Structure 1
Amino acid sequence: MTLILSWLFILVLIVPDLSSSLLHCPSRCHCDDEKLDVNCEEGHLDVVPIALNPSIQRLVIRNNKIRIIDSSVQFYSELTLLDLSFNYLFNIPDRTFARQNKLQQLHLNHNKISAVSNRTFVGLGELLVLNLRGNLIDLIEPMSFSPLTKLEELNLGQNRITSIGLSTKGLLGLMDLKILYLDDNRLEVVPPEETFRPVDKLAELYIGTNSLNMIRDGAFSVLSELTLLDLRSTLLSNISSGTFAGIENIKCLNLADNRFQRIPTKPLEILRRLEELSIGQNYFETVPGNSFRGLSNLKRFELRGSLYLKRIERTAFQTNTNLESIAIESNKALSVLEEETFSGLLYLKHLSLRNNGFEQLDENMFSWNSLRTLDISDNPINCDCYYSKLLHRLQTTNRISYNATGCPHHLPDQWECEYILDKNKNLISVLVLAVAIVTAIALTFYRFRGLLREYVHNGCKNKSHVAGGVSPVIGGDINRVDYEKAITEDDYVIRQSNLYSNQVQPILNGYPGYMQQNNIYYNKPLPITEL
């Protein structure tokens, strides 16, 4: 009996709480009166409930079928967060949130809203975050957000806003705005300075996934406090050295998914404080040496999904010695990564080379002092001694967490690799010696080429001289034999008679005296032939 009375007493105490909360909580909703939180996500509601606790501070009604916001929202004046995303809202009546003067976050993303005006958000003077992403907005009227004097984040991404649809006074009144999303719209040019001037304290600007094609010099110069700029998927093929003029202090830049055929080294060079760079999905085939010179503070680098990238040179990151994280992933044509590419990066902690086309990776590519994680999986790696040494190094270094590509066949162990290495060394030594000998012989021939040519030439002369029946001159230099054309006997006599016309020549045995010197007698003149 005592136990029954105790249970009745407990029920009397908790029933009032049940009646004030659970009895008014719609089905498929979760209501917490202690945290003043109501969550009706995927509750199949078509209107905002009006029987909830009036003191609730957080109301989440995501993924329902609500088509209109009526006066029911005004019952909850204590709200600090209202989430009506992923519904079917077509418009927001003027002054709908007039009593929500404590609301700090309003999420209306992924609905069917087509327009907003300067009366839409009246009463939201304390609002910090407004999310209108994924609607059908094509026009931002002047001073549409002027009641939101404390707004810090405005998301207008994935709408239909054009360069004309965004009024030059559309952002007027947002003096404290820090984050602005204009990505995935229909902008053809970067909005003019007059548009950005009211939000000159902006820290993050997302303007990617627009057909910008080109960016004029100094387009962002009024945003001198900008630290993040997202220009991904903007069809850019080139940027000039003046593109980033005025925003030299940015720390994060996204240039992925554009049409760059080479790394824009010169325009990037002025970004001395840049810490994060994403530049994948472009058209360049090589990352040359010193591609990111000047970026001495770069800490995180991403290069993903580049279909044409084939090679990264050894000195590509030579001047980026403060890099801590590198992600080079899903570049299927990338097969060449030169030795010691990352060896000079003494602060590199995280390196991912996943899903590329690498067939060989050497342990000398990395700096092992600071490395903490390494991902080399999903590469067509050759299971050779180089890979065996790399895996052995990873397995024996306990501080490194790694993910590696498995080998479908036998991976040579340390002893096999040492044998192969010694064999290759001997073969290389023989080849080097042979090359040295051939080179020495070639150099010797080249050094004495003149003497060899003279020797061969004189040898040919002597052979021709003997073959023609000509004997060397007796008493003279055997290497100096003069040849003349064959002449007749009469011509020979006349020529000699002219030479000695001033002297009386004795005749003996029918021959002049000059032909009898040294007791040499000729029966007839000796014809000399020319070679």
Structure 2
Amino acid sequence: MDWGISRGFSLLCSIVITTSCLVKENQEGVHLDCRFNGMTSLNGQPTGKGASVDLSHSGISAPPDSPETGLVDSKFTNLSYNLLKTLIENAFLGLQQLQTLDLSHNRVSAIQNKTFVGLTSLRTLRLGFNRLREVMAEVFYGLDQLTTLQLNHNELSVIENNTFDGLTSLQRLNLQSNTILTLEVQAFKGLSALTVLDLSGNKLRYKHSSLPERVFAALRSLQELYIQDNNQDGIGDYPTNVFNDLAALKRLSIDSFHDVYFGADFAQLQSLQNLDIDSNCRIGRLQNKSFDGLKSTCLQSIRIIHCTRLFNIEAVYVDEDDDSVHLAQCVEHLDVSMNQIRGNGLGLLGVLPRFKSLKSLRIQLVS
């Protein structure tokens, strides 16, 4: 279909356009491209029903004064790259068919309670790259169909108890690259359907004041946890009773210490398939005991890279009398490249024949 420029007329789908937009119509409905239209407020923007509306890069700094002067009730609304600072209560009331709302790359520092009331069909909410310092417990009230929430690249320092309670359908939560120092023990209460959690690039410390015991207890469905690029000082050990509730976890990306040790608290990760240590890696050596807690876990992929202090790797579980599933027996992909391993220090070479399932191997030796 051809695009056309429309101003001040009604379409068959009851969209009223009072500003310049490119219009396209297909089987899904009417799509409006209203980027770069120079409007500073959502008042006077297109209203009615449509398939999508793109209002990005438009200099919008104020939400609508009332639902009646609001937005097209589309399935996808893009308000990214604007100048929005505060999202007020009931700002999006009436947008009952909206499934994706993009508010990323604005200047949002405050979201009032019940801002998103009425968005009964919303599946994806993008709030990344803003200036949020806190998120109150009732901000996401009513979003029981939401499956993806992006809060990455903000200024959050604490995730308080019950922040996400009520988001019973949420599957993906992105909290990457904030300044999170503390997770309260009930921070993830109610997220029974969550499968992916990204906490990478924050200021979490591997101790109970930052990661309290059983902080992930509610995440019974979690399959992927990204918690790397935290714990910048590299001091301590993995805190007890933090990861042992994650029985469904398949991928774990995590920071490390000089003498890394995955102990008893990791023994419950029976579903774990991928272990990644590729950011803020402080491992000085890998020993047999390093993986004690994962001894009966059938890991398929181990990735330990960018460890500037890793000079030596010892043999991993080669005890002939050990009846448990050896780590080496399941591994299909092994990556220990981009470290400082010496040519005569790779004890792993001596046991590579035990990696019966190995499909790919990356080793980089330093002379």
Conserved? CA contact 2:135–2:163, under 8 Å: yes
CA drift of 1:363 comes to 4.2
The 1:190/1:363 distance shift into structure 2, 3 A limit, reads same
8 Å CA contact 1:290–1:317 kept in 2: the answer is no
Q: Check the 8 A contact 1:291/1:317 in 2, yes or no.
A: no
How is 1:279-428 mapped onto 2 (pairs within 5 angstroms)? 279-283=227-231, 284-285=234-235, 286-287=237-238, 292-303=243-254, 309-315=257-263, 317-339=266-288, 341-342=290-291, 344=295, 346-356=297-307, 357-364=309-316, 367-384=327-344, 386-387=346-347, 389=349, 393=353, 399-408=358-367
Of the candidates 69, 73, 78, which is equivalent to residue 22 of structure 2? 73
Pairwise CA RMSD: 3.4
Q: SS of the residue aligned with 1:73?
A: strand
Q: Contact 1:186–1:210 at 8 Å: present in 2 too?
A: yes
Q: Tell me the TM-score normalized by structure 1.
A: 0.55
Q: Specify the SS of the correspondent of 1:205.
A: strand
Give the distance between the partners of 1:378 and 1:287, measured in 2 at CA.
Answer: 24
Shift of 1:323: 0.6
Q: Which has the higher contact order (CA 8 A, sep 6+)?
A: 2
If the length of structure 2 is used for normalisation, what is the TM-score?
0.77
Alpha-carbon distance in structure 1 between the residues aligned to 2:288 and 2:271: 19
- Identity fraction in percent: 24
Q: Distance in 2 between matches of 1:370 and 1:80?
A: 52
CA contact (8 A) 2:126 2:150 kept: yes
Alignment of 1:195-214 (within 5 A): 195-214=139-158
Which one has a larger percent helix, Structure 1 or Structure 2? 1
**8 Å CA contact 1:69, 1:92 repeated in 2:** no
Cα displacement string for residues 299-319 of structure 1 (whole angstroms, at most 9, x for unaligned residues):
11112xx5x843321426322
Pair 1:259 & 2:218 matched: no
Q: Which runs of 5+ in 2 are unaligned?
A: 7-16, 318-325
| Distance (Å, rounded) in 1 between the aligned partners of 2:262 and 2:180 | 27
Given candidates 217, 223, 238, the residue that maps to 1:269 is: 217
Q: Name the counterpart of 1:188.
A: 133
- Please say if residues 62 and 85 of structure 2, whose CA atoms lie closer than 8 Å, have aligned partners that are also in contact: yes
Q: CA deviation at 1:212?
A: 3.1
Do the aligned partners of residues 98 and 288 (structure 1) sit closer, same or farther apart at CA in structure 2, a change above 3 Å counting?
closer
- Equivalenced residue count is 334
Residue 137 (structure 1) aligned to one of 52, 76, 84: 84
Contact 1:309 1:331 in 2 (8 A): no
Task: Tell me the secondary structure at the aligned position of residue 22 of structure 2.
Answer: helix
- Distance in 1 (alpha carbons) for counterparts of 2:42 and 2:171: 36
State the shift of 1:72 in Å: 5.2
User: Equivalent residues in 2 for 1:111-150 (5 A)?
Assistant: 111-117=58-64, 118=67, 122=71, 124-125=72-73, 127-150=74-97
Q: How does 1:53-72 map to 2 (within 5 A)?
A: 70-71=19-20
Larger Rg: 1
**100, 109, 123: which one aligns with 1:178:** 123
Distance 1:172-1:374 versus aligned 2 partners, 3 A rule: same
Amino acid at match of 2:310: F
**2:178 maps to which residue?**
234
CA distances 1:170-225 after superposition (whole Å, capped 9, x unpaired):
312211112222233222321341x3223233222223433333233222223233
Q: What is the distance in 2 between the residues matched to 1:72 and 1:240? A: 46
**Quick one: which amino acid aligns to residue 287 of structure 1?**
Y
